[in-house]
Amino acid sequence: MKSTNDEVKQQWRFWPIICLSFLYPINNALINLAIPLYYFRQGVPIQVIGLLAASITMTYCFSPILFNRFSDKIGRKKSISIALAGTSFAQLIFYFTLIPPIFFIARLIEGLVMGLYWSNLQATISENANHNPNKFIAKFNFAWNSGVLSGFLLGALILYRIDDLTIIFYIAPILVFIGLMISIFFFIEAKPNNIKTIELESSDLKANLDTKTKNRELLGIYVPLMLPVLFVVAFSFQKSSLNLLYSIKSELLGFDTYTVYLLAFFSLTTQLFSTSLSSYLSIKTLKRISIICIISLIIVNFLFAINSNFLIFVALFFIMGFFAGIIYSFGLKLSILLNAEHHTSKYSSICESSMGLTFLIIPIMSAYIATININYGFLAISFGFVIFLIVSHIFLKKIKI
């Protein structure tokens, strides 16, 4: 049994997951910040910019759940490869035109196929990291945060040298194509059926697993599904609204274009630190500090509304990234825990769809509020976190570890 287990571990590679978790966020970071800046300069109405910013999530909000059983059936490798192939096709359109209707359709296609991407990467971790999940969750968090961080830094450097936003849309698709090559030629998944066979090969081990399950029930270990969903929604609520609102406020205040990417880079440095750190913290510890994080974000977003000083914005981005990172890491940890307990990718799919729905609704709402007054948008975010504070406090009481 030991030799068979070692064979499965040797077959599975974790570094392609790291690469894939790193490359697509670079692409996403480049494009997401370029959308409001580019189309605002083109004279596109803010309401339409909100629709363009949210277009990818119009399909992504349901695609992870829609494709959940399909991806479980065809496997993680094929699912991820299909996602990247479809995204490559959608972003190929950027080289021909960036007019709003065509761009909108391309992002709808990307959102649909990406329903096969993140939930399958996370499910691969839960299926293969039973012996040390914290280690792999930490590396996964570090990879995608580093990707977003690199995307913002790359965008800042490009626009510092060349103040032409169209070049962002030409560089970003190359990264998706590289990811596609990695998924096809290097990604290897361990077969869930093989893992189950190994685990159940010994009847004594099976009995031991059953006993542990009963013990967990007797000890009252319980994590409500609403809790990981709530925290990843809170994270995406913060990010989706800030990307749009600050980009427009920066233009209105006359800040240089590259500083939008630079400040996003600053926030990701602290987010990278906090997500990596919180990956090693216990659920009990994260449960205690999550409330502090939400209260801090209430204050930070209020300050975004009343401030117009660039240096204060720098400090606010650092603070916001740190607390938002902890909230996301807590939600991710709970969803992967539920995946591992039930041998499925369902919980990651639910969280990803919830994030997608948030990234769909919030930019559109923020855009409409911004047409009245840009600062009202930040105040609305602050009020939204007051609601998160109340609801999360209720569900945190139900956790039993």
Q: Which of 37-51, 190-204, 368-382 has the lowest mean pLDDT?
A: 190-204
Length of the chain: 401
In this prediction, residue 76 has a pLDDT band, given cuts at 50, 70 and 90, of: confident
Digit-coded pLDDT (tens) for 243-277: 889 988 998 898 988 898 999 889 988 988 888 78
Q: In the prediction, which pLDDT does 286 show?
A: 85
Q: Is the pLDDT of residue 13 over 80?
A: no
Nearest C-alpha neighbor of 176 from the set 356, 29, 352, 328: 29
Lowest mean pLDDT among 26-40, 113-127, 254-268, 297-311: 113-127
State the pLDDT at residue 345.
64
**What are the sequence ranges of the domains in the chain?**
2-396
Q: Give me the mean pLDDT over the 302-310 stretch.
A: 93
Mean pLDDT of 85-97: 94
Tell me the percentage of the chain whose pLDDT exceeds 90.
32
Give the CA distances from residue 245 to residues 285, 318, 362, 369, in Å, rounded to whole numbers and listed in that order.
33, 17, 11, 10
pLDDT above 90 for 97 = yes
CATH number corresponding to 2-396: 1.20.1250.20
Model pTM score: 0.72
